Amino acid sequence: MKKIIPIYFLTVVGVGLLVIGVYFIKTIEDPQGMLRALPYICVGIGCVVFGHGIGEIILRHAMNNNPAAAKQLEIERKDERNLAIANRAKAKAYDMMVYVFGALILAFSLMGIDLIMLLQLVFVYMFILGYNTYYRFKYYKEM
């Protein structure tokens, strides 16, 4: 039950980003350049941070009220079978993401979107594949 203060701080930061984003969306009449997307990015990040913070607060509150459930949750988190299932699900999601992301880049290139945006997508795609290759070789040497 440690680190409760940063979770409340995180929740307040999320609400702050959300409020700032909504305020700028409502007040800026003709946004130019970066101000077109920045308020929406603030709203999105604010919602994610707020949701994560509230989820942690609710989880900690429930664990404080029911120690037996907290102990059972801790056992399930550290269970090797659950970890293996989670890792296998991540692997399947990664495999699907590689094909979907590649198809998305191809579709965007055929649509003729801006070259800068396309190159950013390609860079991120290649970074993910390079990251995968690096760890594949690293784990191959270890095992």
Q: Match 């999320």 to its residue by tokens.
A: 14
- The predicted-structure confidence for 80-121, as pLDDT tens digits, reads as follows 888 888 889 999 999 999 999 999 999 999 998 888 989 999
Mapped onto helix, strand or coil, the DSSP state of residue 31 is coil
User: Do residues 42 and 24 make contact, with C-beta atoms less than 8 angstroms apart?
Assistant: yes
Residue 16 has pLDDT above 70, yes or no: yes
Distance CA 49, CA 57 (A): 12
Residue 139 has pLDDT above 90, yes or no: no
- The predicted-structure confidence for 20-40, as pLDDT tens digits, reads as follows 999 999 998 888 878 888 899
Distance CA 43, CA 138 (A): 39
Distance CA 56, CA 61 (A): 8
pLDDT attached to residue 29:
84
Domain ranges, ordered by start, for the chain: 1-78, 80-143
Model confidence at 72, pLDDT cuts 50, 70, 90, reads: confident
Model confidence at 2, pLDDT cuts 50, 70, 90, reads: low
pTM of the model: 0.59
Q: Match 């784990």 to its residue by tokens.
A: 139
pLDDT, averaged across the chain: 88
Q: What angle do CA 37, 10, 44 make, to 5 degrees?
A: 20
Model confidence at 123, pLDDT cuts 50, 70, 90, reads: very high
